[in-house]
Amino acid sequence: MKGKANVGSGDNPLRVAIIGSGPSGFYATEALLKSALEVRVDMFERLPAPFGLVRNGVAPDHPKLKEAILVYTKIAAHPRFNFFGNVTVGRDIAIDELRANYHAVLFACGAESDRRLGIPGDDLPGSHTATEFVGWYNGHPDYRDREFDLSSEVAVVIGQGNVAVDVCRILGKTADELKHTDIARHALERLAESSIREIHMLGRRGPAQAKFTHVELRELGELAECEPMVNPQDLKLGAASQTELADKRNRTAIKNMEILRDFAARPRANKRKRCFIRFLESPVEIRGKSRLERLILAKNRLEGEPGRQVARETGETVELNCGLLFRSIGYRGVPLPGLPFDERRGVLPNIDGRITDEKGTVLSGLYCAGWIKRGPSGIIGTNRADSVATVKALLADIDGGRIDTAIKQGAQAIYPPLAARNVRVLGFPEWQRIDAAEIARGKPVGKPREKFTRASEMLALLD
């Protein structure tokens, strides 16, 4: 191709648009800027604030996990990085426009929706996704105005991953335990008035298969006014589960079992709240006249080989009265205008990060990384290796002649149409002004920051 030798040079820098400003987006940026090529990276984020799930998904009482933002801010300071905040790709700017002006477009937009339970009553008022609740207490603009009825005494969380534990812990904590975190003010005020006294976290399989980590689980036993409750009978394991635990590589499950046995053996502390950790139960129906009133659960048994056990219904059911339910059974990506989408897996179809069409043919210049590439698995750091692998494929495609090597205009060609469409673009320095204002707002009340929870508030501050 004409100009191939010059791609990545000063005369023809490799121009890459990255969609999404969470961990995957920043790790991909880092990998590109560390390459031997001359690279220009433009990052597009639909919110005025960057950092994705690190800002909007990590629980407010886990500040150490948010320290990754310091790394991302350092990456953003690179002179060959540019930030397009408050710009929605597919609405404010078309994907085809990006493809025309960049050598590569890399999607790192995560998994923004929840998997459904797929049972009767799923949509009754009082039944919510964990994403909504997490976004609400973290001050995500999309969920600022959600309403959660905390007047009931019983809440149920479906799922046993770390997000489910986060939801249980936030519901179980007192306002005093949360008031010095960066929890959104509106959420702190509502949680302080909560009537919830029982929290039930349900898993369809047994304790040896639970997906939470022992670090997260242990915290449920350290709350001021909420005690963990585990039925000792639930901790009696079948032969296959015992085989799983005998594998020393299964360190998390081994630690989880130690903690669960400790919870089960504890004498009652008679705290104001209780968190029941329940196993081998699956929701089969949500009932209520005009809103959620009770949950029908199927009792399960495990079948299969070690490491491949599945839950099968026994035919026995139990009822659980409750007024609030959160499902936390996994996330899925959402389709993007003009891109193929794997509906079954909830990801962009791809081969090693190269986006493909329905027939499996690689689409030139289109890439993905993170949850939209592989599905919702792993922790924040998992995304670094994933993003590096996608960038490696991207760079290999230059040598392999699979990327258009003509000179591209990048940001220079993107600002004019956005201005013509009255899109207010926020650069990274403008985000830093918002960031400084949030920190200043938090100081008088002893919080690390008081977040702006509406995009309009952030834009008004800049005006």
Indicate whether 429 pLDDT > 60.
yes
Report residue 126's pLDDT band, with 50, 70 and 90 as the boundaries: very high
pLDDT given at position 335: 83
Average pLDDT over residues 31-55: 96
Is the pLDDT reported for residue 64 higher than 60? yes
Tell me the mean pLDDT in the region 155-172. 97
What does the pLDDT read at residue 115? 79
pLDDT surpassing 90 at residue 111: no
What's the confidence (pLDDT) of residue 331? 76
- Does position 89 have pLDDT exceeding 70, yes or no? yes
pLDDT exceeds 60 at position 181:
yes
pLDDT reading at 4 higher than 60: no
Residue 2 has pLDDT above 70, yes or no: no
Q: Which pair of tokens denotes residue 283?
A: 């929701």
Each residue's pLDDT tens digit, 275-330? 999 999 999 999 999 999 999 999 999 999 999 999 999 999 999 999 999 999 87
Q: What is the mean pLDDT of residues 354-371?
A: 94
| Gap between the Cα atoms of 103 and 292, Å rounded | 51
Query: Which DSSP string corresponds to 116-134?
Result: P--STTTTSTTEEEHHHHH
Read off the pLDDT of residues 183-241 as tens digits, 9 standing for 90 and up: 999 999 999 999 999 999 999 999 999 999 999 999 999 999 999 999 999 999 999 99
pLDDT of residue 28 exceeding 60: yes
CA dist., res. 281 & res. 278, Å (int): 7
What's the burial of 463, exposed, middle or buried (CB within 10 Å: 0-12/13-18/19+)? Answer: exposed
**Span 350-369, average pLDDT:** 94
Contact 313, 148 (CB under 8 A): no
- The per-residue pLDDT for 3 is 41
Digit-coded pLDDT (tens) for 277-287: 999 999 999 99
* Alpha-helix residue ranges (DSSP H) falling in 185-336: 185-192, 214-219, 239-246, 251-265
Residue 316 backbone phi and psi in degrees, to 5: -90, 140
Give the pLDDT score at 190: 97
Euclidean distance between CA atoms 391 and 403, whole angstroms: 13
Question: For the chain, what is the mean pLDDT?
Answer: 94
CB 197 within 8 A of CB 153: yes
What pLDDT score does 378 carry?
73
Q: What is the pTM of this model?
A: 0.93
Please report which confidence band the pLDDT of residue 1 belongs to, taking 50, 70 and 90 as the band edges: very low
Greater pLDDT, 336 or 78:
78
Task: Please answer whether residues 41 and 130 qualify as being in contact, where contact means their C-beta atoms are separated by less than 8 angstroms.
Answer: no
Averaged pLDDT, 85-92: 96
Helix (H) / strand (E) element for 105: namely strand 104-107
Q: How confident is the model at residue 399 (pLDDT cuts 50, 70, 90)?
A: confident
Which domains are delineated in the chain? 4-112+332-426 (3.40.50.720), 116-329 (3.50.50.60)
Is residue 98 within 8 A of residue 105, CB to CB? The reply is yes
Distance from first CA to last CA of the chain, Å, rounded? 47
